[in-house]
Amino acid sequence: MSIFQQLFGGNATADLKELVATGAFLVDVRTPGEFAEDPVKGAVNIPLDALPYQLSAFEGRKNIIVFCRSGNRSGQAKAILERNGFANVVNGGTASYVRQFV
């Protein structure tokens, strides 16, 4: 069982692949500098510290995948979004992991 299956349950790879294929909103919560050095195609950069002020960017999104460098900040981002009423959020873990599906 992979670390992502242990953390997120089920077949995380298949789930993430399907979400990306169906147009999930990809949100990189790393700093602008990290994002510029290593962007993920199709992702927008909303740094974790700016996330609470950018909630309108998430409204009406069918599926949301948040990710970062290690999975820590994306876990925090997922929690922030869920506390604000977004139930369709997936912690994609790392940028390098999400990149393989875009």
DSSP 70: S
Cα separation, 60 vs 93, whole angstroms = 23
* Catalytic-role residue among 68, 81, 89, 90: 68
Is 68 labeled as catalytic in the residue annotation?
Answer: yes
In 3D space, the residue among 24, 80, 71, 72 whose CA is nearest the CA of residue 51 turns out to be 80
| β-sheet bridge partners, residue 68 | 94
Residues 6+ apart with CB under 8 A from 19: 63, 65, 90
Residues taking part in catalysis: 68
